Amino acid sequence: MNPLATLDDPILALATAPGRGAIGIVRISSPQPLEGLIHALFGQALQPRHAHYLPFRDAAGQLLDQGLALHFPAPHSATGEHVLELQAHGGPVLLELLLARCLEAAAEGAAALPRLRLADPGEFTRRAWLNGKLDLAQAEAVADLIDASTEAAARSASRALAGAFSQGIAALRERLIELRALVEATLDFPEEDLDFLEQARARPRLAALEEALAALRARARQGVLLRDGLRVVLAGQPNVGKSSLLNALAGAERAIVTPIPGTTRDSISESLQIGGLPLHITDTAGLRRDEDTADEVERLGIARSWAAIAEADAVIFLRDLGRCGQPEYDAADARIAVGLAEAGARTVLEVWNKADLLDTPPPEGPLSLSARSGAGLETLRQRLLQAAGAQPAGEGSFIARARHLDALAATAGHLAAARALLDAPHAPLELLAEELRAAHDALGAITGHTTADELLGEIFGRFCIGK
């Protein structure tokens, strides 16, 4: 955010995407009333929450366009402030003229808005959060709904925006408050000590709270997958069919396929979806030892392959059924398997390719498929979903972010520490109270009840201007 700007300033921005379009919207939000600006722009008042079809004119009175003007007095607006929206034709030059005219009109007369300025990224949504129109998780869901790459992600973001995730957090916080109250009461009456907590069933309450938290964490992990997708790397020796498999999964010729070893020298990525889950697949250079190739470019490609493997959520270790049993080939595959373990690959799916070249059934165990014919591809898709822990995006799903998972994990850690203290003989109840307070604060960070300013800047700074 601009360090010279304040949240008391009226703000202005184009609320529709840049470029040509049928409609363009200019939005103004202000803590101060907008009647003065409205009169400077139109020479008349606007009835609240009614669409007025009016001419939009420049300072000299020349017609710029005709469109709709809507006035939303506070607090009945998206930001909770006084809001004015101008809907005009979506020409870039026209919209720039309207923005300039609003800034110009804001400087006219004592009743206008001399401090009106262009909005920072995410500032409209940030004001909605500050004014209690949204909590922080809902505010993030606004950006996630805009950025959704699949229908399932869009629907889940919409549910998060409607408060599905926030309601789950609120329910946990309420139960934590009850448990904290019991412990605080015990601290106030130390002669009761642990007998009071035993009579109040503090242990079963804590166990039920941990169980509810575990269920919410599972749903949040699914939400992160829907938002960020699954990063999958195709790995294996040269000429095992990695590029062919990428093309088959993408349904298009995205990678060059030749019988020449080392054709793929750099990483090639393609985004697609499986069952509503975004999938980001990377085809990498064939893995072999540096001494097995004299091509410096290929060596650089192999180094990038290992870097991609280390960052992947899942690795498809592709092997060639036609060369299975050849000592040199099997030894190279064994080296790759060791390398995958050393690189810290999280999930490795061993897949045998070129099943169409066999006269006999493929060996049992690892998945066998044919990238050329498409046989086995659907099974591979399902295996990828299983590896990711993905569940069908049902009515209860909501979008989530990695920071939400971190906060939920921190909450779980504090509750586990509280359980250990509750079970220990003669444990200081002050420590138990502190662990419960820390768990409560960790949950509050998700919805914005306890949030650092640096985090707010990081969250809202990623929004587009005008949102």
pLDDT (tens digit per residue) in 31-79: 999 999 999 999 999 999 999 999 999 989 999 999 999 999 999 999 9
pLDDT digits over 43-55, tens only? 999 999 999 999 9
Question: In this predicted structure, what is the pLDDT of residue 442?
Answer: 93
Residue 75, preceding peptide bond in cis (omega within 30° of 0): yes
Q: Which of 108-117, 168-177, 388-397, 453-462 has the lowest mean pLDDT?
A: 388-397
Question: In this predicted structure, what is the pLDDT of residue 458?
Answer: 66
Number of alpha carbons in the 13 Å side-chain half-sphere of residue 222: 23
Number of alpha carbons in the 13 Å side-chain half-sphere of residue 436: 26
69's enclosing H/E stretch is strand 63-72
- Average pLDDT, stretch 119-145? 91
Q: What are phi and psi of 109, to 5 degrees?
A: 80, 160
Residue 86 pLDDT > 80:
yes
Number of alpha carbons in the 13 Å side-chain half-sphere of residue 329: 14
Q: Kindly report the average pLDDT of the chain as a whole number.
A: 84
Question: In this predicted structure, what is the pLDDT of residue 262?
Answer: 52
pLDDT digits over 123-134, tens only? 999 999 999 999
- Average pLDDT, stretch 242-249? 85
Helix, strand, coil share of the chain (percent; to 5): 50, 15, 35
Tell me the pLDDT band of 344, cut-offs 50, 70 and 90: confident
Could you tell me if 256 and 264 are in contact, meaning their C-beta atoms sit under 8 angstroms apart? yes
The most confident of the ranges 399-408, 425-434, 443-452 is 399-408
Could you tell me if 176 and 170 are in contact, meaning their C-beta atoms sit under 8 angstroms apart? no
In whole angstroms, how large is the CA radius of gyration of the chain? Answer: 29
Q: Where are the beta strands (DSSP E) in 275-389?
A: 277-283, 314-320, 348-353, 367-368
Question: In this predicted structure, what is the pLDDT of residue 8?
Answer: 87
Question: In this predicted structure, what is the pLDDT of residue 104?
Answer: 92
What gap in Å lies between CA 380 and CA 340, rounded to an integer? 20
272 vs 444 pLDDT, higher one: 444
Burial 339-367 (b: 16+ CB within 10 A, else e): ebeebebebbbbbbbbbeeeeeebeeeeb
Q: What is the DSSP letter of 289?
A: -
Number of alpha carbons in the 13 Å side-chain half-sphere of residue 429: 20
Question: In this predicted structure, what is the pLDDT of residue 308?
Answer: 87
If one counts every other C-beta atom within 10 angstroms of the C-beta of residue 395, the result is 8
Question: In this predicted structure, what is the pLDDT of residue 259?
Answer: 54
Q: What is the DSSP letter of 285?
A: P
Question: In this predicted structure, what is the pLDDT of residue 294?
Answer: 57
Tell me the pLDDT band of 359, cut-offs 50, 70 and 90: low
Question: In this predicted structure, what is the pLDDT of residue 293?
Answer: 64
Could you tell me if 213 and 415 are in contact, meaning their C-beta atoms sit under 8 angstroms apart? yes
Tell me the pLDDT band of 146, cut-offs 50, 70 and 90: confident
Residue 29 pLDDT > 90:
yes
This model's pTM is above 0.85: no
Question: In this predicted structure, what is the pLDDT of residue 455?
Answer: 62
Q: Is the dihedral of CA 75, 78, 79, 82 positive or negative?
A: negative
Question: In this predicted structure, what is the pLDDT of residue 264?
Answer: 53
Could you tell me if 237 and 262 are in contact, meaning their C-beta atoms sit under 8 angstroms apart? no
Q: Which residue has the tokens 């750099």?
A: 266
Question: In this predicted structure, what is the pLDDT of residue 273?
Answer: 81
Question: In this predicted structure, what is the pLDDT of residue 77?
Answer: 95
Angle of helix 242-250 versus helix 377-388 axis, rounded to 10: 90
301's enclosing H/E stretch is helix 296-311
Cβ within 8 Å of residue 271, ≥6 positions away: 149, 229, 278, 279, 280, 281
Question: In this predicted structure, what is the pLDDT of residue 239?
Answer: 85
Question: In this predicted structure, what is the pLDDT of residue 202?
Answer: 81
